[in-house]
Structure 1
C-alpha cells in the first residue's frame, strides 16, 4: 500500500530541511498523542515506539536509513508483520519556495501483517485524506514559523 502527498512551502529548502529533521519536535508531538517514544542515537538514530491500535498494544521500530542534506530523508520501520519505508524529498522551486514530497510504502511479510494491511487498505481513502491533511498541516506550520521569524521575503 502506498500513500503520498506533495506540498509547496513558502520557505527556503534549508529551513524546510531543518524542520523535517527536527526529531525532537516529532518526538514531543508523538508523546502528546500518547505514544511512548524512545530514541537511541548511534551512527544513525533508532526509535522504538509503543501505542495502542485497534485495541491492541503495538510496537514500532524505526531507523533513519539515509539523509542527504538538504534534499532527502529516508526512514524504515517495522511493526509486527508489516514493514514500511517513509521517504521525504525536498526540491527547491525558487530561492524561497520548496516542494515537500512525502511517500510511505507499506508491505506485509507475515499472515498477521497481511491481515492488518488488508484492513488498512479497506480504509485507504480515509487514511489517504488524513495523511495528506497531516502533511499539509506540517507545511503550514513551517510557513507560519518562517513568517513569525520575519524571514519571509517581501
Structure 2
C-alpha cells in the first residue's frame, strides 16, 4: 500500500534538507512522543547505512522496528527502509527547488505485509484509503510547517 503527500514550503531547499538530515533533531522529537530510539550503527553523521532501532506504543501495543537510511542524495533525496515483525516498507522524501526561497516536499510511504495478520490489517486500511491518505497528508503538513517554524525561530 502506498501513501503520498506533497507540500510547498516557504524555505530554501538547502536549509530544509539540512534540517531533514539532522538525525539528532528527529531522535529527540521521537523521544518527546514516548518513542525509544537507539542508533545501532554507532555513527553520528547521517549517511547511507545509518540504522536505528525504534520502540513505542502504537494503538496501545508496544511495537518495535528497524529504520535504515538506504540513500542520501544531497540536497534532494532521502530513502529509508523500515522493517518490523509484521511489515516492511520504504519511506522516500524528495525535495524540489521551486525558487531560492520555496521548496516542494514530496513524501511517499510504501508498506508491505510480512504476515497474514499484517495482510488483513492492510486490507482494512485499503478500505479506508481516502481517509488514511488525508490523515497522512495533514500530519505531514503539520510536521513540515513546525519544522519550518523552528528554523525561522518562531
Name the TM tier (shorter chain): 0.7 to 0.9
Alpha-carbon distance, 1:25 to partner: 1.3
Alpha-carbon distance, 1:146 to partner: 4.2
Q: Partner residue of 2:29?
A: 29
Deviates further, 21-30 or 61-70? 21-30
Please tell me whether residue 105 in structure 1 is matched to residue 110 in structure 2: yes
CA distance 1:148–1:74, shift in 2 (3 Å): same
CA distance 1:142–1:35, shift in 2 (3 Å): closer
| Aligned residue runs from structure 1 range 21-100, under 5 A | 21-41=21-41, 42=43, 44-100=49-105
| Aligned residue runs from structure 1 range 8-27, under 5 A | 8-27=8-27
Length-normalised TM-score, structure 2:
0.86
Alpha-carbon distance, 1:123 to partner: 4.0
Could you tell me how far apart the structure 2 residues matched to 1:139 and 1:52 are?
23
Alpha-carbon distance, 1:102 to partner: 0.6
Q: Which runs of 5+ in 1 are unaligned?
A: 150-154
Q: Partner residue of 1:140?
A: 145
| Contact residue 80 and residue 113 of structure 1 kept, 8 A | no
Alpha-carbon distance, 1:52 to partner: 2.4
Q: Which runs of 5+ in 2 are unaligned?
A: none
Length-normalised TM-score, structure 1:
0.86
| Contact residue 86 and residue 104 of structure 1 kept, 8 A | yes
Please tell me whether residue 119 in structure 1 is matched to residue 114 in structure 2: no
Could you tell me how far apart the structure 1 residues matched to 2:147 and 2:2 are?
25
